[in-house]
Amino acid sequence: MNFHVLLIVATIIGRSSQLTLSDCRSEGHARRPEYTDIAVTCGTDSISLAIQACPIVYTGYNMSRMIVNHKSDPACKGTLDLSVSPPVVRFNFPLNNTHACGSVFRTTSAFGTGVFADFSNIQTVNVSGTVRSSDPTTGTITYNAEMKYYYSCAYPLEYLINNTQVDVSASSISLKDNNGSFISTLRMELFSDSAYTKPLVMPQDGIELRTRVYVEVKATNLTGQYNVLLDRCYASISPRPTNSTFFNLFVVGDVDPLTTMIQNGVSQSARFSFPAFRFMEQQDETVSTYYLHCITRLCEVATCSGFMQGNNRRRRSTDDEPADVSHLHTITSPEIVTQAEGSHPLSAPLMHSAHDEGLSTGVGAAVGVLVFVCIVALCIAAVFYKKLRK
């Protein structure tokens, strides 16, 4: 029995020590640890770490001795990757505060700036932890240096989503995950029905005024601890609302009377609808074209209800325009186009001209007949006059 236990242990040690100090020296990677030995990828649903393996071996440890946040869970252990040069130890754990291998989740708040200047509570969640060595030495002293690798990912929880040109059913943006952003999980879609099953397709001459437009902002592949909350959605004539006429469909706690909020902050999708309108600035144009923008908050499930009361808004002049958002990642689809009143302005003038032409023809004919009658009468009178003289 003891023989089998020793054999299993020996097999595990053999597999975890595939990389030796000689291997590292032959490749020129044997050296002391440095601050740059760890690479952190802040994904939308997980965090990945890659730590160079040769400095670990050089210090006297093997891969199995590198532990995440003191967690001995097998799912939290690293795996040796020899397919890259230099070789690395990889760790991967989900973005879930109950299964993130002991990572610490800390949410901070700050006053909004730029396009978020209307809000006093802009949140960021920071996920952090440590990968450190476990010294096998027992006793009073050790000659092994302790190794520590710190990781941290900061995710903003407020985003601006732009939706434009509704004749494309939906579009989404894909970003490199190492920027620590959830924007790649968000998308905006527009529908023509209240069941949100028929994507809104734009006719060539635009949709009619007062047509109900159904909007959905949805998160996909997002960790389950966050819901989607729309803080503000507005329309502007320009796809970039800087120095552009705009109209607020709603700001949380203040909804336009004709905008209907269907669900917000209760799941990983938010829905609302509004009747199609036009901007007076475009009254001389055949169609009115504008763009939708939504400032979207990812809030922890337990805290969403607090943000829905509008308490995070800052007092601001109603004449202020949205700040420049060119530095933000946006999701864009084609523009919204509505018909102007009387979408065929040439029809009435053409009918009016034809009517006038008919009247002119009738009058001309009547005058011609009258002249002919007068000539005949004069001829008859002349004949009678000659007979009377004879």
328 bridge partner residues:
none
CA dihedral 51, 52, 56, 62 (to 10 degrees): 80
Each residue's pLDDT, cut to its tens digit, for the chain (390 residues) gives: 443 333 233 333 333 447 888 999 998 999 988 888 999 999 888 999 999 999 999 888 888 889 999 888 888 999 999 999 999 999 999 888 778 899 999 999 888 887 788 788 888 999 999 998 888 877 776 777 788 999 999 999 888 877 544 332 233 333 333 457 888 888 889 999 999 999 998 887 888 888 999 999 999 888 888 999 999 999 888 887 666 788 899 997 789 999 999 999 999 999 999 999 888 888 778 888 888 988 899 988 888 888 877 655 554 443 443 433 323 333 443 478 887 665 544 333 333 333 444 544 555 666 566 667 667 677 776 666 666 555
Set out the domains of the chain in order of their start, with CATH numbers: 2-136+145-156 (2.60.40.3210), 158-339 (2.60.40.4100)
Q: Which residue, among 232, 219, 256, has the nearest Cα to 116 in the 3D structure?
A: 232
pLDDT of 87 reads 94
pLDDT of 242 reads 66
pLDDT of 302 reads 86
Q: C-alpha distances in angstroms, 5 versus 21, 133, 136, 138, 159?
A: 27, 25, 19, 21, 55
Q: Which residue, among 254, 267, 259, has the nearest Cα to 312 in the 3D structure?
A: 254
Whose structure tokens read 């939708």?
292
pLDDT of 287 reads 84
Three-state SS at 110: strand
67 phi/psi in degrees, rounded to 5:
-115, 140
Is the Cβ–Cβ distance between 24 and 58 less than 8 Å?
Answer: yes
pTM: 0.63
Q: Which residue, among 49, 62, 53, 60, has the nearest Cα to 17 in the 3D structure?
A: 62
pLDDT of 50 reads 95
pLDDT of 310 reads 60
Distance CA 350, CA 287 (A): 21
Residue 18 in tokens: 């595939």
DSSP state of 86: S
Residue 90 in tokens: 């990889």
Is the Cβ–Cβ distance between 235 and 318 less than 8 Å?
Answer: no
Residue 337 in tokens: 């186009």
